[in-house]
Amino acid sequence: MPRSANWSYPTQIRFGAGRIAELARVCASAAISRPLLVTDSGLICTPIAMRALRALEEAGQNPGVFSDVRPNPVEANLDDGVRAFREGGHDGVVAFGGGSALDTGKLIAFMSGQSLPVWDFEDVGDNWKRANADLVSPIVAVPTTAGTGSEVGRAGVVTNEETHTKKVIFHPKILPTVVICDPELTVGMPPRITAGTGLDAFAHCLEAYCAPFYHPMSEGIAIEGMRLVSEALPAAYREGTDIDARGKMMSAAAMGAVAFQKGLGAIHSLSHPVGALYDTHHGMTNAVFMPYVLNFNRSAIEERIRRLAAFLELPTPGFQGFLDYVLALREELKVPHTLVDFGVDDRRIDLVATMAVQDPTAAGNPVTLDEAGAREIFECAYSGRL
């Protein structure tokens, strides 16, 4: 892996160990002179966050801080962040952290200039055209995990607490102006978070690859993303200071988010309501559902998965070989095998099934997902039946 590189797909990406040192210059290049650093409460007191703040302060950029971000962000987090942005007279956002902080930071920059409520911009039809694009503040994204790929995305996810649903808010200008991908920032991730975020990246690539739409560029990115995960995730999990593995995982995370322009599927459409109702870690929830959704979709994706298994050079070919690989990888990374093991009960199975079908990601599932199908997947994931 090259030590560093500059990319411009789909936005400017400064990739390489130690490149967090460029943060102040990057903010200046994005026309940000008074940034609001958005992160979470667990990260703000860490050395990597302190280093970022110090760099901004030494450059005379007088940053503010907003760190009231939940693992599954809710509207109240967003509202508080917008208030902090406006009251502090900020002119841009540094979104610093995992997917929750990145999504919230992006949405703060977006909503700081809007007069309509955030739900008016849900990713449905042309809702994004309701926004005043001229009032979206610039964003610099600094991921500290390797999973969601939100740093290269044009959307953010926030939970509507009234309906207990996760909503995707979309606008082209939510895409960060510049991204700093510094694998050194992910070295401190504990193994469980490394596993959950890494399998989130894998799920993005897998579902994008399997989605029944025509987008060969996304498919190519997706299969290479899965190869990188298969090579690097076990190494990063075992030895957190392995910069080469950490760098490959950061690449795979960004690739997954680019690839899922093609679509997602039932892994995500079930994971979203479970996360909203049970406040579970998104990536780990995806990992729990993954083999059960694969099995559900087998009739539509078997040939596609056969090609993938060959590309990954798995010891056992075909669909069953790939399914066995996924199960073995989950076991190696200590992913709960069932929803029961994950602490999720079945009392709201009917609600989860209804919400899963209504989730916009359901449209990308290779087998049409109705409530009976969503319930079947949930029941299999609950009992461990494959």
pLDDT in tens, 315-351: 999 999 999 999 999 999 999 999 999 999 999 999 9
CA distances from residue 75 to 96, 165, 167, 330 in whole angstroms, order as listed: 19, 11, 10, 33
Q: In the CATH scheme, what is the code of domain 4-185?
A: 3.40.50.1970
Domain ranges of the chain: 4-185, 188-383
Two tokens, residue 201: 């990246």
pLDDT digits (tens, 9 = 90+) for 345-384: 999 999 999 999 999 999 999 999 999 999 999 999 999 9
**What average pLDDT does range 238-250 have in this prediction?**
97
pLDDT digits (tens, 9 = 90+) for 46-85: 999 999 999 999 999 999 999 999 999 999 999 999 999 9
The DSSP annotation for 147-197 comes to SS-GGG-SEEEEEETTTTEEEEEE-GGGS-SEEEE-GGGGTT--HHHHHHH
pTM to 2 decimal places: 0.93
Q: In the CATH scheme, what is the code of domain 188-383?
A: 1.20.1090.10
Identify the CA nearest to 107 among candidates 60, 134, 74, 63.
74
Residue type, 169: I
Q: Is the pLDDT of residue 3 over 80?
A: no
Can you say how many angstroms the Cα of residue 267 is from the centroid of all Cα atoms in its chain? 13
To the nearest whole number, what is the mean pLDDT of the chain?
Answer: 96
Peptide bond preceding 35 in cis form (omega within 30 of 0): no
Q: Is the pLDDT of residue 8 over 70?
A: no
- With tokens 């760099």, the residue in question is 55
Give dist(CA 380, CA 260) in Å, integer.
Answer: 25
Is 249 within 8 Å of 331 (Cβ atoms)? no
**What average pLDDT does range 110-114 have in this prediction?**
97
